[in-house]
C-alpha cells in the first residue's frame, strides 16, 4: 500500500467518525423530537407512579413533547428493567429506578436479564422514602430499645413483618437484627397493608412499612411508631426518633428510594438535559407538596452523586443479603 492510499484511508475514517459524532451531537442538541417514555416496575397509584407522573408532566411542559408513563409491574421489577435495558440508548426511554429492582435484586438473584451498573447510566436520585418501625398501639413494647432487649431475651420470638421476601422492608429488618445482635423471626407478606393489619391485630410484633403506608395509621392512633429508618427525623413524624437516636448508635440507614436512569450509551448531553429538567421540577412548590404527601423526601443532584449513592447501596444490600442468607433463586 502506498503512503498516498494509506493517508486517504485515514482521512476517510476520520471523516466517517467526525460525521458520526457530529450527528450524535446534533441529535442531543435537538432532543427530544419525539415522545419520551418513563418505564417503571410498579402498577399505577403507588409512590413511584405518582413521582413518575409528576415529573413526566413537568418534562412534557418544558420540552413541548409527550412523556408517556409505562407501568410494567411484575417479577420484582425484572420485567420493567429488562425492557428498559434493551431499549435504544437515545434518551427516549427513561427508567424509574428503585431500591428493590436496582440494589436488592442484584444481591438476591444469581442471574438477572439486566445489570444495574453495566446496562444503565444514572441520571438523578429523585426521592428517598423512609420506613417506619411500628407496633400495635396497645402493645407493651413502648420503645425500640425495649423491643431489641426483648428480642435478645427471647431469640426468635419477636416477629417482624415485611412487604415480601427480598423486599426493602425485609432487608431493613435483617439489617436492624445484624446491627443490634437481636434475633427476630421474619414473616413475609404481599405488601405493607396485610402486615400492618396483623400488627394492629396482635398477630405480629412489628412491621416496617413505608412512611406513606404507616403514617395514616399512626396518626389515627392504631399504630405506635418506634423509630424511622432514615438518618434524620421526618417532617410527618417529627416526634419519632431515628433508629440511631432510639438506640444510641450510628450508621443505621434503610430507606426506599427512586431515581431516573437511562440505557448505557445515552449521549451525555441528553442525560444533562433530563437531569436539569428534573432538578428544576423537584423544586416546584406543587411537586414538593405532592411528593411529601407520599412520604417522600426530595433529593435531586448530579448523575455523579446518584452513581456514588447507587454503588454504596449495591455493596450494603449485598452484604446484608449474604449474611442473612436471603435468596430468591
Residue 24 burial class via C-beta count within 10 angstroms: exposed 0-12, middle 13-18, buried 19 and up: middle
Looking at 44-53, 153-162, 216-225, 256-265, which range is the least confident one?
44-53
Residue 119 burial class via C-beta count within 10 angstroms: exposed 0-12, middle 13-18, buried 19 and up: buried
Task: Tell me whether strands 93-98 and 36-40 are parallel, antiparallel or unpaired.
Answer: parallel
What secondary structure letter does DSSP report for 210?
Answer: B
Residue 173 CA to residue 179 CA, distance in Å, equals 10
Reported as a pLDDT band with limits 50, 70 and 90, residue 294 is: confident
Residue 249 CA to residue 51 CA, distance in Å, equals 33
The three cell numbers locating residue 120: 444503565
Whole-number pLDDT of residue 5: 64
Query: CB within 8 A of 261, min separation 6: which ones?
Result: 84, 94, 95, 97, 102, 120, 121, 122, 123
Residue 275 CA to residue 141 CA, distance in Å, equals 45
- For residues 265 and 120, the answer to whether their CB atoms sit within 8 Å is no
User: Which DSSP helix (H) or strand (E) runs through 219?
Assistant: helix 211-219
Q: Break the chain into its structural domains and give their ranges.
A: 34-130+255-324, 132-247
Q: Which one, of 69, 12, 13, lies nearest residue 36 by Cα?
A: 69
DSSP-derived 3-state class of residue 96 = strand
Whole-number pLDDT of residue 293: 87
Whole-number pLDDT of residue 11: 55
Q: Which one, of 130, 197, 208, 195, lies nearest residue 169 by Cα?
A: 208
Q: What pLDDT digit, counting tens, does each position of 8-32 carry?
A: 566 555 565 554 445 555 567 899 9
Query: CB within 8 A of 11, min separation 6: which ones?
Result: none
CATH of range 132-247; options 3.90.1720.10, 3.30.9.10, 3.40.50.80, 3.40.190.10:
3.40.190.10
Q: Which one, of 198, 226, 203, 215, lies nearest residue 133 by Cα?
A: 226
Whole-angstrom CA distances from 115 to 19, 105, 179, 231, 322 are 31, 10, 29, 28, 19
Whole-angstrom CA distances from 315 to 104, 181, 261, 308, 327 are 10, 21, 19, 11, 16
**Is there a common fold for 34-130+255-324 and 132-247?**
yes
> Which superfamily does 34-130+255-324 belong to?
Bordetella uptake gene, domain 1 (3.40.190.150)
Q: What pLDDT digit, counting tens, does each position of 299-316 carry?
A: 999 999 999 999 999 999
Q: How many Cβ atoms sit within 10 Å of the Cβ of residue 214?
A: 27
Residue 182 CA to residue 176 CA, distance in Å, equals 8
Of 5 and 103, which is predicted with more confidence? 103
Q: Rounded mean pLDDT of the chain? A: 93
Average pLDDT (292-297) is: 89
The three cell numbers locating residue 164: 415480601
Whole-number pLDDT of residue 22: 53
Is the peptide bond between 4 and the residue preceding it cis, with omega within 30 degrees of 0?
Answer: no
Amino acid at each position: 500500500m502506498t503512503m498516498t492510499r494509506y493517508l486517504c484511508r485515514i482521512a476517510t475514517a476520520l471523516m466517517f467518525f467526525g460525521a458520526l459524532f457530529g450527528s450524535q451531537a446534533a441529535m442531543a442538541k435537538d432532543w427530544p423530537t419525539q415522545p419520551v417514555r418513563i418505564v417503571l416496575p410498579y402498577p399505577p397509584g403507588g409512590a413511584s407512579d405518582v413521582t413518575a407522573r409528576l415529573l413526566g408532566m413537568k418534562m412534557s411542559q418544558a420540552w413541548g413533547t409527550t412523556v408517556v408513563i409505562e407501568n410494567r409491574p411484575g417479577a420484582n421489577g425484572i420485567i420493567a428493567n429488562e425492557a428498559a435495558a434493551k431499549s435504544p440508548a437515545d434518551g427516549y426511554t427513561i427508567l424509574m429506578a428503585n431500591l428493590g429492582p436496582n440494589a436488592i435484586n442484584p444481591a438476591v438473584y444469581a442471574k438477572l436479564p439486566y445489570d444495574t451498573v453495566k446496562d444503565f447510566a444514572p441520571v438523578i436520585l429523585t426521592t428517598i422514602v423512609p420506613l417506619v418501625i411500628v407496633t400495635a398501639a396497645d402493645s407493651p413494647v413502648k420503645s425500640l430499645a425495649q423491643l431489641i432487649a426483648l428480642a435478645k431475651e427471647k431469640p426468635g420470638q419477636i416477629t417482624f413483618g415485611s412487604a415480601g421476601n427480598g423486599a426493602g422492608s425485609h432487608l431493613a429488618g435483617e439489617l436492624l437484627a445484624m446491627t443490634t445482635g437481636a434475633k427476630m423471626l421474619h414473616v413475609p407478606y404481599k405488601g405493607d397493608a396485610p402486615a400492618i393489619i396483623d400488627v394492629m391485630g396482635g398477630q405480629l410484633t412489628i412491621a416496617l412499612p413505608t412512611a406513606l403506608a404507616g403514617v395514616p395509621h399512626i396518626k389515627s392512633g392504631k399504630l405506635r411508631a418506634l423509630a424511622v429508618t432514615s438518618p434524620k427525623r421526618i417532617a410527618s413524624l417529627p416526634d419519632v426518633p431515628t433508629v440511631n437516636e432510639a438506640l444510641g448508635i450510628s450508621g443505621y440507614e434503610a430507606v426506599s428510594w427512586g431515581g431516573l436512569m437511562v440505557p448505557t450509551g445515552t449521549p451525555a448531553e441528553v442525560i444533562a438535559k433530563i437531569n436539569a429538567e428534573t432538578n428544576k421540577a423537584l423544586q416546584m412548590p406543587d411537586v414538593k407538596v405532592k411528593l411529601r404527601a407520599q412520604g417522600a423526601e426530595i433529593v435531586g443532584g448530579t448523575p455523579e452523586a446518584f452513581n456514588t449513592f447507587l454503588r454504596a447501596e449495591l455493596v450494603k444490600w449485598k452484604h446484608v443479603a449474604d449474611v442473612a442468607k436471603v435468596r430468591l433463586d
